[in-house]
Structure formats: structure tokens, C-alpha cells
Amino acid sequence: MLLKYIYNADLAQAAYLVGCQTHGVALVVDPGRDIRPYLDEAAAQGLRIEAVTETHIHADFVSGARELAAATGATLYLSAEGGSDWQYQYLAGISHRLLRDGDRFFAGNIRLDVLHTPGHTPEHITLLLTDTAARDAQGAARPMGVFTGDFVFVGDVGRPDLLERAAGVKDSAVTGARQMFRSLDKFRALPDYLQVWPGHGAGSACGKALGAIPSSTVGYEKLFNWALAIADENTFVAALLDSQPEPPTYFAQMKRVNKEGPALLADLPVWPRLTLDGLEAALAAKWPVVDLRPAEAFAAGHIPGTINIPFGSSFVTWAGWLLPYDRPHFLIAVTDADPTERARERDDIRRALRSIGLDQTGGVGSPALLRQWAAAGRPLQPIGAVAPETLAQRMQAGEVMVVDVRAAGEWEAGHLPGAHHCMLGDLPAQAATLPQDRPIVVHCQVGTRAAIAASILQAQGFDPVETLTGGIEAWAAAGLPQLCH
């Protein structure tokens, strides 16, 4: 048997390729939309992908199950649990089998047994893996590990509130938490030696305390996972629902896309080149134009009306929070020199956006657009920065409004006296409530989110807008007034 861990760091998302070398076949568990890593790994191992499965209808990325089935002819093995509202709707014409608690299926000698484990979502299943070709001293085939998806993570369990908070399914959070409590009894009944292969790692918004190591064991989680240490159901429900992070707005979109079936990548249009005329038309139509350059370059000078989401480790998260799914967006990329580097960068950007279903890119240009803008005699717009000591003086004089764009948990742990809280993901909708009679200074923990927020406020007409240099960490390091709690 072969097991390969395939991790997407941008989404903190884990998929798995399981191979049976005897039969030359492979199974993929919880694939993302970019299927090249699975195809490449299978080819490198001399395996044919004949089965694809997933633990649930994902909310944080576009599933690659349909894409893999189209590319390989593999059979899809998907949950039939959860009731009529949580059934896959795109399976006509695709080889598939719907699974319920107690079912099993094979890929060569590899057997998967199905456990229905609702809580994170109603349809969630957990898959118990057994290599039937391997036998113990008594000649019995015993399970090796369990694919837990978003049920049990390393050090945490899946959050049950996403359907209510992100998808608007009323009163589902408490119901899901109680289901999770009961599902954990199935986990406790598993042998301690089993390996645990979860669907996410640290950084995912599908839980609140995910560990950074890729796998665990059932026994270890029984000892150290906080959720498995609570024996009272009501106490468990309260603890599980407490302090969950804000769910990105795009999660609701992902649930719909993955239930109805994402578009195949081959059917999506090629990105057109964004010209200066096209950029001006997009801005006039109030369509988002995103400058992907680093925050420092954007702050030094950008085209008025554009917003900044730097293309880096948090790009996917903030693109999903801030870009609409019902109208096009336009991009100004980072590279405009070497053609090979430019093509590679645009492939990376395309892959990132499509991983969360942002398929509506209306055009992509390069930083040459900024030079063309300036050459036409139109000024570029800067974003100023203010040092902590200077901000403290201006706050004392009542000259500025300070907007803290960190998450609610960060705000509650300590914030600047007199600051206004508006989490970055909520800022586009709430900006209209902010006063425009004095300058606004935006801050976050160290400065990354503040740069994005400042660009959003500028694009909505706020002027002047500045950022706090070094964020709240620099404020605390300067020994300025005690943070409020």
C-alpha cells in the first residue's frame, strides 16, 4: 500500500492519494480543484486513479472530485447521509456510488469502511482504511487509519456553526454541536493505534485550535484533544461554539458550488488582457480592480479606485472575503518583465482564485498600466503611514478616527483606547457607517490587513487614510497607553 499526503498551504487543506501497487490503482480522498498534484503523483507511482471520495460537501475550497472524474473516468464515492438538503446534484452521467453508515468500498486491496459522523456538517462521513493484503499474526486484516476530514483534527474538532453563520441555515449550530458530541463516541470506540489523517491543518477556519502537525493517532487525540476530554453534552456544546473565528463570506458560496457541481476548468474562458481603457471602464462600472503588488509598492502609488490584495500567503483568504461572486473582477499582476515569469505568475494567480471558485476574472494586466496612467498625466494615489507615538498624540487631540480591522477575538484580547472595531472582511459593507469628517488611521496586528483595509476605504472615497506602522505590536512595544480589554 502507498499513502501520499498532498497539502495546499494556501488553504491549509490536506488531500490523500492511496495506492494499491498490486492492482496498479489509486484512490484520492478530499481532492482540491487543481488536480495536477494527484495526476502527477499517480503517474510517478505507476498507478491509475480509479476512485475518488470526499468526507463531506466542503465549504472552504472547490472540490476536485468532479474534475478528477472527468479527467480519469474514476468512480465517485460520496455521502448519501444528511437528508435531502445535503445531496450531491451533479452526478448524472458520472460513475458514482452513494454511501451510508456501514457501507464499504474498495480500490484494489484497499478497503474503506464508512462511518456517518455528523456535526461539522449533516452529511459528513469518516473513512476507515484497511489494507486487506496485510495480515497480523493471527491472519486478520486490521484497519490502519482513519480519514477524518473535518470531523477530528489534530487537537481540535470541526466547527458546527458554519451552516448557520456562513450559509444562513437557521438554528443549525447547536444541533450540529450536539451531533458532534454523539459522533465523537464513534471516534472513542476506535482502536488507539489507528492513525488519524485529517482534512485540514493549522490556519484553517474550519476549527479554532487546529494543530500544525499533519497527522495523529486515535489514542493521542483521546489523551490531548480538548473536545474529547468533555463528558457533559451541554458543557461540550457551549465550549465548541465559543470563540469560533469569523467564517469567510465565500464559505456559503463553496457549499452551493460543491453541492451543485463546480464548472470544469476546461469550460472556463481564457483570461483577456486588461488594457488601460478596460481598466477605466471597470472602475467606472464600480467593478473591483485588484492590484496584487506588495503593500509597500501599492502604498507608494496606485491607480485611484483600485484595491490592494497582495499576492502572497493570505491572498486566497482575503480574495474570498472581499471579491464578489456575482460580477467580474479585474487584476493588476506583479510581474511585467520576463514573459516566462509573467506566465508562471498568472498561472499561480489563476489557480489560487479558481481554488475558491472565483472564476469571474474579466481581465488581467501588468504594472505597465500604472506607467500608462501616469504618462497620461493622471496622478497615482499614495497611502500614508503614521508612527505609534504620533498616532497617540493625534488620538489624544481628537484629530483622527482609529479603525481596528482585526478579528473579534484579537479585539477582545486588547485594543487601542477609543478605537472603532470593524473586522477586515466586513469593512466593504460597513465602511459607509464610518465618519468622513476627519482622517482615518487603520491598524491590525502588524500591518498586512491594515494595508488592504486602507485601500478599500480609499476606493470608497475616504481621504485621507493612513495605516499604523507596525500595527498594534509596534504600539505595545513603544510602551503606549495600556490596551483596553
pLDDT beyond 90 at 166: no
Contact 176, 161 (CB under 8 A): yes
CA–CA separation, 165 vs 116, rounded Å? 23
CA–CA separation, 343 vs 474, rounded Å? 38
Which top CATH class is 268-375? alpha beta
Q: What angle do CA 59, 60, 66 make, to 5 degrees?
A: 75
- The CATH superfamily holding the domain 2-260 is Ribonuclease Z/Hydroxyacylglutathione hydrolase-like (3.60.15.10)
CA–CA separation, 447 vs 459, rounded Å? 19
| Annotation: CATH topology of 384-477 | Oxidized Rhodanese; domain 1 (3.40.250)
**Grid coordinates of 155:** 487537537
pLDDT tens digits along 378-412: 999 999 999 999 999 999 999 999 999 999 999 99
Q: Which residues pair with 128 in a beta bridge?
A: 113, 146
pLDDT beyond 80 at 290: yes
CA–CA separation, 132 vs 122, rounded Å? 30
* pLDDT mean over 366-372: 96
pLDDT tens digits along 56-72: 999 999 999 999 999 99
pLDDT tens digits along 415-441: 999 999 999 999 999 999 998 889 999
Name the more confident of 165 and 94.
94
Domain residue ranges of the chain, discontinuous segments joined by +: 2-260, 268-375, 384-477
Residue 474 φ/ψ, nearest 5 degrees: -70, -35
Tracing cell 499614495 back to the chain, one arrives at 382
Contact 16, 52 (CB under 8 A): no
Tracing cell 486588461 back to the chain, one arrives at 274
Contact 306, 282 (CB under 8 A): no
pLDDT at 24: 98
Q: How many CB atoms are located within 10 Å of the residue 37 CB?
A: 18
Q: Is 175 exposed, middle or buried (0-12, 13-18, 19+ CB in 10 A)?
A: middle
Contact 416, 441 (CB under 8 A): no
pLDDT at 408: 92
Structure confidence at residue 182 as a pLDDT band (50, 70, 90)? very high
CA–CA separation, 104 vs 99, rounded Å? 8
Give the pairing of strands 465-468 and 440-443: parallel
R_g (Cα) of the chain, nearest Å: 24
pLDDT tens digits along 308-358: 999 998 999 999 999 999 999 999 999 887 888 889 999 999 999 999 999
CA–CA separation, 229 vs 225, rounded Å? 7
Contact 321, 250 (CB under 8 A): yes
pLDDT tens digits along 183-234: 999 999 999 999 999 999 988 888 888 888 999 999 999 999 999 999 999 9
Q: Is 140 exposed, middle or buried (0-12, 13-18, 19+ CB in 10 A)?
A: exposed
DSSP state of 459: H
Q: Say how many CA atoms lie within 13 Å of 410 toward its Cβ.
A: 19
- Do 268-375 and 384-477 agree at the fold level? yes
Q: Is 322 exposed, middle or buried (0-12, 13-18, 19+ CB in 10 A)?
A: buried
